[in-house]
Structure 1
């Protein structure tokens, strides 16, 4: 059954209640006594909630009681948020200055009496409900349980490429697969049969099929066998068109410069299927290729034959490596017998467990715990994912009773069906702090194999108040990063890539299944199979365009999230938008990217609780109602890719809570005063704003930490001098921008940690203002500087730089002297710089001695070119908030 998050919800509500009870406003509105009563009752109830969650399956009626508590807490939170909305409005009126009369009329302050009466009535109703539910709970005989909120120690983040040294017990499997790839096609490759050899790897979920395929794919012998390597993750949806696009993109990334491949990737989605298959044949024709199709679920043979017919145009010797959980699918696609991946031996499982449960060598201090670990890994049935996750959950925990509790837990005794969630995963999940479990459930809103960007969850978790700082002073971005780091340290995330302020990851299919399992009472993914939206659902994710109709929504009233996570899938019905606005007045997240409606109704202002509004990539919308500026709780507003948007709405300065603002507009001049009033603005993005010559000249945007400027063809300057807190700057394809701005002397001191400069073909030297970030810069990307001839000597003074990527700078011949001074540098990638790459070759290159200390070094290798292509794509995805 689905999980509950009542304890953490109650704790959050108590914090809000404490602040409201202490405020004089509660007495002014005549609600002090009722608020105090709710707080007292909830404090008593909170003490038994953890015991209730433990016993909910054993005691009849306890699940329903927990559901009632959870619902009344949500309703109380909605009421309290009403106070926040009212207070924010009063702040806007106060800050409006000379326009006070206009703003006062805008918010109709004459309604204060009506507001007070309404709020008093709602709070009294909540108190009565809670008192009754609390009294009903006495019959269950629940005990008070304290909770431990300690965070596990976090491991160092890793890159997504496979680290062969960290994989246990798969050397023989790798050699066997490589042998199969080296063999000629047993039934083809002759003049009469052009079919491609297909080798299936089959095994249970979490067994390591993808890991094995990665080991093979990255083996240097494969580079000698095949002219072209392509990796495509198929997962649940076997969409021929999307698979073809992925194959073409992979082929382009392998054979082209990264920037060319990226531009190709951006345009290919507009091609029809006839054009796509023509491009596919062009890319593959005459080349020996290895194509990995990872995680196939499709059992429709007709679809497989259709795809196979399209891709068998390569040279003799081309191979396809398929991973799947299904024996029948493996038999359907394979041209040779399936390679059945077995579980790890007990010895290898124990080695893997020890690696994740202890720091290196620490296990020698705790032989008793290692013995218990050996008993536990036997129950994992050789599944590496289960072993790794279980070990991670016990990392730095040396309490004997805790280990014995995990070993003896009754969940191990459940009958395990083929597609069940592994007990080890559920156990590891149960050991998470409650706040982390609540955040984890939101992964269920996204499709399997979805590439996640950290900023997604800053917005999503932040919109529901889940990012709480113990000290009250931490930024939500940092809290979200800590949560994600902890999930990663517990092995719930994989393919983690860290670019500083931008980080990318995925979740394993079984982990996604677990998120769906624990979230299913309140989270729903809407597709063509969905027949109705249950009334208790609070979070909706829409993944298919043709899945929406009014008939789905007859009873639901509790929805707080509507999310369109897929590229190309959006809303085209203005009537349905009107229905949502009228029905779901407590919406917190409205994510309508890739939609195609022409107007946003004035009634959007009724969603006064809204925290995130995403209208990105709407190709039709031309204007926004000025009423959107009444959304004082709004933290995220994305207009990115709205290519027909004429102007921004008037009154943006009234969006007092706005933290992230993504803009595409035809407007030529920005209102500096409006932006200066956005005191909480953290991230600001301008993309395809072709008419903008200047962002700001005078007005200081004092809180801004992230600035993204991309494809703004008329832009002439950037105002770094009025951005005192800027930490990340991303600038790409701004043809008229003179990078030598801010050339004042002495050089302005900057706080920048990440700098990405791309496509400045006439720039011969790096701008000197970068030197102002000497004490802070950690990540530096220089891409497509075709005239760059030298790197400045001051570059070696930037001793905090950890990642340096220099790509497509063909005239760059020299490193500055003393490159060995960059002691913090961990990742150096030089690609598309032929002469410089030659001088950096291991042992023989003249620069090798000064860069040999760097952990990860790559020079023009195809696989690293592909990684860079992915890097740029992921950074672009990071803009899709």
Structure 2
């Protein structure tokens, strides 16, 4: 991290000192020379820092030197932030006060004595700069004694793959070499023939092995196999927290069974809920990666687990043989190393991914040597395989095989050589991004988009290259590329992906990988879980920059703060997963904001906070603020003075009714997340000024009750052309006419991929509504469209021109009598039609508007799932006219359709025979609450034979 941090700060320092604002500080005698000296020293240490990064593993003195250097670098970064904030605030004040613009400009350019006292005092900064210079003198002098050398990393910064060619993960379907282990454990879990099994209601089986041996992977394989699924009625997976927490384990069991998180804090209450949830059920409970726990705590849990049906089992995975005995295991399975062949199979599956047969043959011999050095550890094979996947030359493979990291001994011998090889092969920017993840607790699911926003807030990703800007590469794209690269290198696991796009949405770090990241951030990142019985004083050691404070279920919000002045990240992690009752709230002390003036990222989500103090404005360097899942009723106007803010997250703040009127001052805001804020019925007009916005969860158009004109109008979307991802438009029925709607210029927002259009309330006539909808034409890049409560009698013509659309939802469009020719959409995969009550017939016009077009390409060529729900007046669905005149062959209609669902269509007489004849297409047919259809297609019904070829039929 040191190399990337120094590089980042050196670039910023050089840029800042070249700005006109530097003249202000040069007025202080000697500061100009001090600034020059700092730049020279940063350049000097930058040349040898790669050598220090590698030496720190074996030389504790170098490690301490590197930590001192990074601490100074952080202080320089803090000065730069103050400097930049002073400039930014000055510019905003000038633009707000047009009357004084000339005067301010004059003083800025000519006098160089403008007033920045409200943010930073030039004299204080000058003193800080001199202090930093002295500290750098000592560091440079000490560094000369280590004989550090310049290491050429071979332009590794350019090795990060561009987004278009990066594959996000590797699917390894098999668990190599664990077949016998799997069979043995399944037998122990599912067998009920032994005398002991008959006597005992509950048996406990433990898997014991070293870290990285694959205990969790094996447990998951067993947990998901059909034999186990068929044997038990409940399957519960709990990742045991470290240290062991009785209440959290009990709550996790209940949540897994009942699919909701219980809001309890007392152990006895939680255990009673466990007893109620499992009573009489035959369950399998997996307690993964269990650490030491007290006999008394365990006995209480087991007592309440014994209410399950005979044959219930607990499977414990642990590194510690003592834990397996503590829990009273009836069988302990020792998980050994993989054989050389199995280790090679796992390694080669990953390392040779995307390589040619010739490359595989050339690299196999040295590859087997690398595999043997993994010593049978699956995690090592997986990790080093991810590294070798990125290397193609024999020389590179030999270099890894002969690396000194395989021979690491001494104090840090527990560090994994494959992880070190993979880590030091990363470009320095990627190392910085990776080890920042040490701030997350172990076993925590990291949200991909959230992590990228945090990287941006810390300054790890920047927009400074003109060539990148010309290519349209923004920080979010660069962040996704960095994440894809880390995933490809196998630093993360348990990836979850978006079903439609295939993009990784969240993931975990293996606990050994987490320990590895923490090794490099011992004095930078801290995760603290205080004793809830003591006064909640948040404290950090002097040099900690990223602090995660884990708040216990029964602990109040931190009351005071000590030694937190240097924090860059502060996260109060809580476990209130649902918006709480308003009366049960906690308070944020203004002291928090007085103490942390260098803070860049603040996460107070899930903390039952109703009020955010006005003092939040004092955290002037803040870039990321997460207040989601809190019962906030409003935000203070002072939030709008956070001029550096890039991300404001207010997800599920259901009590929030308005946003601050001055929000337009947040000119650097890139992400405004206001999902699930049902009471937020108006947006301030200042949103139109946020031209840097990439994320705007929803945009509300208010009706006539806004006499001051302060609320957003549809035209205020016009300049927000950087919007990406999803946008929900609400209140479209309030738009007066098509001219006003056209001013939104939705067609120019080419990075929007999901659009939801909600026309409720319906305040206009049919013709105006139709014209408004037509004027709201989006860009053809749209992938998903939802149209709700549309009151026009005709759907807009542009719907059939969305050439990239994959999913379409049409809901509660009561007045429409005819569906558009959706069959012409070439990429449509999912179609949901619901509550279009004026629709009586679906005919050939649903397939096409141009017979010649359909004859060549067919209708709905990619459609896989079709749902028709609650069409109360739909009587006929007839596509028999799909045969073109003079053409004996039927047009291809929905050739890929797999799932057809018809629900609550009481008057529908029959399904189209065109679909029923496609015996190789429809595999699932669901008919629910459709009286006539159920009579026709039920067993023994007149038309049952027409659907008998379909694999799965459900009539209810």
- Name the TM-score, length of structure 2 as normaliser: 0.73
Question: Highest CA radius of gyration, 1 or 2?
Answer: 2
In structure 2, do the counterparts of structure 1 residues 717 and 587 end up closer, same or farther at CA, with 3 Å as the change threshold?
same
Aligned to 2:887: none
Find the aligned partners of 2:560 and 2:902 in 1 and give their Cα distance: 56
Task: Summarize the Cα distance change of 1:338–1:588 in structure 2 as closer, same or farther, 3 Å threshold.
Answer: same
**Are residues 360 and 123 of structure 1, via their aligned partners in 2, closer, same or farther at CA, if it must alter by over 3 Å?**
closer
> How far, CA to CA, are the matches of 1:69 and 1:270 in structure 2?
46
Residues 47 and 144 in structure 1, CA contact (< 8 A), matched pair in contact too: yes
C-alpha separation in 2, matches of 1:308 and 1:623: 46
1:798-877 aligned within 5 A = 798-799=825-826, 818-821=859-862, 849-850=920-921
In structure 1, distance between residues paired with 2:282 and 2:791: 39
- Match status 1:603 vs 2:615: yes
Q: Which residue pairs with 2:529 in the alignment?
A: 527
Partner secondary structure for residue 212 of structure 2: coil
Deviation at 1:659, TM superposition (A): 1.3
Query: Distance between the aligned counterparts of 1:705 and 1:208, measured in 2?
Result: 39
| Contact 1:198/1:321 (8 A) holds in 2 | yes
Counterpart among 656, 675, 683 of residue 670 in structure 1: 683
Match of 2:932 in 1: none
Matches within 5 A, 1:255-270: 265=260, 268-269=262-263
Equivalent-residue separation in structure 1 for 2:818 and 2:898 (angstroms): 15
Residue 810 of structure 1: CA displacement?
Answer: 15
- Structure-2 residue corresponding to 1:169: 177
1:200 and 1:65 map into 2 onto residues whose CA distance is 44
Matches within 5 A, 1:297-308: 297-308=291-302
Equivalent pair of 1:807/1:830 in contact (CA under 8 Å): no
Q: Which residue of 2 aligns with 1:207?
A: 213
Post-superposition CA distance 1:286-330 (Å, at most 9, x none): 544433333322533333333333344444444333322222333
Deviates more, 1:25-34 or 1:521-530: 25-34
Stretch deviating more after TM superposition (275-284 or 173-182): 275-284
RMSD between aligned residues: 5.0
Deviates more, 1:767-776 or 1:437-446: 767-776
1:796–1:821: 8 Å Cα contact kept in structure 2?
A: no
How far apart are residue 227 of structure 1 and its match? 3.6
Distance in 1 of aligned mates of 2:311 and 2:272: 22
Deviation, structure 1 residue 646: 5.2
Counterpart among 331, 336, 346 of residue 340 in structure 2: 346
Name 1:156's counterpart in structure 2. Answer: 167
Give the 3 Å change call, closer, same or farther, for CA 291–486 of structure 1 in structure 2: same
Between the aligned partners of 2:698 and 2:670, the Cα distance in structure 1 is 15
In 1, Cα distance between equivalents of 2:213 and 2:762: 51
Aligned to 2:479: 480
Q: CA deviation at 1:488?
A: 0.7
User: In 2, distance between residues paired with 1:783 and 1:204?
Assistant: 54
Report what 1:111 is aligned to. 115
Cα offsets for 1:756-777 (capped at 9, x unmatched): 859x799999976893783444
Q: Structure 1 residues 342, 55: closer, same or farther in 2, change over 3 A?
A: closer
State the alpha-carbon separation in 2 of the partners of residues 278 and 788 from structure 1. Answer: 53
| C-alpha displacement of 1:522 | 0.8
Alignment of 1:614 with 2:608, yes or no, is no
Report what 1:46 is aligned to: 46
Q: Please give the alpha-carbon distance, in whole angstroms, between the structure 2 residues aligned to 1:277 and 1:789.
A: 54
Distance in 1 separating the partners of 2:799 and 2:590? 52
Distance 1:451 1:688, change over 3 A: farther
Shift of 1:489: 0.6
- Give the Cα separation in 2 of the matches to 1:786 and 1:281: 47
Aligned to 2:945: none
Higher mean C-alpha displacement, 17-26 vs 450-459: 17-26
- Secondary structure (helix, strand or coil) at the match of 1:322 reads strand
1:276 and 1:418 map into 2 onto residues whose CA distance is 41
Pairing 1:593–2:602 present: no
Q: 1:631 to 1:152 in 2, by over 3 A?
A: closer
Shift of 1:236: 2.7
Count of aligned positions: 817
**Distance in 2 between residues matched to 1:251 and 1:606, nearest whole Å:** 45
For the residues of structure 2 that align with 1:391 and 1:564, how far apart are their CA atoms? 36
Distance 1:180 1:47, change over 3 A: same
The alignment partner of 1:480 has SS state of helix
1:647 shift after superposition: 3.7
Helix, strand or coil for the counterpart of 1:558?
coil
Q: Which residue is 2:714 aligned to? A: 697
CA distance in 2, matches of 1:818, 1:285: 53
Gapped regions of structure 1 (runs ≥ 5): 253-263, 861-881
Which of residues 1, 10, 33 is equivalent to 1:14? 10
Whole-angstrom CA distance in 2 between matches of 1:777 and 1:395: 34
What's the CA shift string for 1:447-468, capped at 9, x where partnerless?
Answer: 2221111122122111111013
Shift of 1:244: 4.3
Q: How does 1:548-697 map to 2 (within 5 A)?
A: 554-568=562-576, 577-619=589-631, 621-645=632-656, 647-663=658-674, 664=677, 666=679, 668-672=681-685, 674-685=686-697, 696-697=713-714
The DSSP-based 3-state class of the residue aligned with 2:159 is: coil
Alpha-carbon distance in 1 for matches of 2:411, 2:60: 26
Matched-pair contact (CA < 8 Å) for 1:662–1:685: yes
Highest relative contact order (Cα 8 Å, sep 6+), 1 or 2? Answer: 1
CA gap of 1:329–1:136, structure 2 versus 1, over 3 A, is closer
What is the CA–CA distance in structure 2 between the aligned matches of 1:506 and 1:13, rounded to whole Å? 30
Q: Show the 5 A alignment for 1:220-231.
A: 220-231=226-237
What displacement does 1:791 show?
13
Displacement of 1:654 after TM fit? 0.7
Looking at structure 2, the residues matched to 730 and 306 of structure 1 have their Cα atoms a distance apart, in angstroms, of 51
Label 1:791 to 1:219 Cα distance change in 2 as closer, same or farther (>3 A): farther
Contact (CA 8 Å) 1:717, 1:741: kept in 2 or not?
no
Cross-structure match for 2:949: none
Distance 1:543 1:798, change over 3 A: farther
* Native 8 Å contact 1:808 1:832 kept in 2: no
Partner of 2:392: 398
Pick one of 433, 450, 453 that aligns with 1:459. Answer: 453
Gaps spanning 5+ residues in structure 2: where?
A: 532-536, 706-710, 736-740, 848-857, 866-893, 928-956
What is the alpha-carbon distance in structure 2 between the residues aligned to residue 765 and residue 213 of structure 1?
A: 56
On the 8 A contact 1:559/1:584 being kept in 2, the answer is yes
Instruction: Tell me if structure 2 keeps the 8 A contact 1:716–1:737.
Output: yes
Following the alignment from structure 2 to structure 1, what is the Cα–Cα distance between the partners of residues 148 and 642?
42
2:951 maps to which residue? none
Q: Matched residues in 2 for 1:763 and 1:297: separation?
A: 60
Deviation for aligned residue 1:485 = 0.7
User: Cα–Cα, structure 1 residues 288 and 479, in superposed 2: closer, same or farther, change >3 Å?
Assistant: same
In the aligned structure 2, how far is the partner of 1:765 from the partner of 1:405?
70
> Separation in 2 of the partners of 1:821 and 1:309?
54
Match of 1:178 among 182, 186, 191: 186
The reply on whether 1:310 has 2:304 as its aligned counterpart is yes
CA contact (8 A) 2:493 2:509 kept: yes
CA displacement, residues 161-218 of structure 1 (integer Å, 9 cap, x when unaligned) = xx6734322333333333334311635665xx56233332332222222222222233
Q: Give TM-score, length-normalised by structure 1.
A: 0.79
Q: Which moved more, 1:72-81 or 1:7-16?
A: 72-81
Contact 1:560–1:588 (CA<8 Å) still a contact in 2?
yes
Superposition deviation, residue 72 in structure 1: 2.7
Note the C-alpha offset of 1:565.
3.4
Q: Deviations over 1:669-692 (max 9, x none)?
A: 3322x1111121221235999999
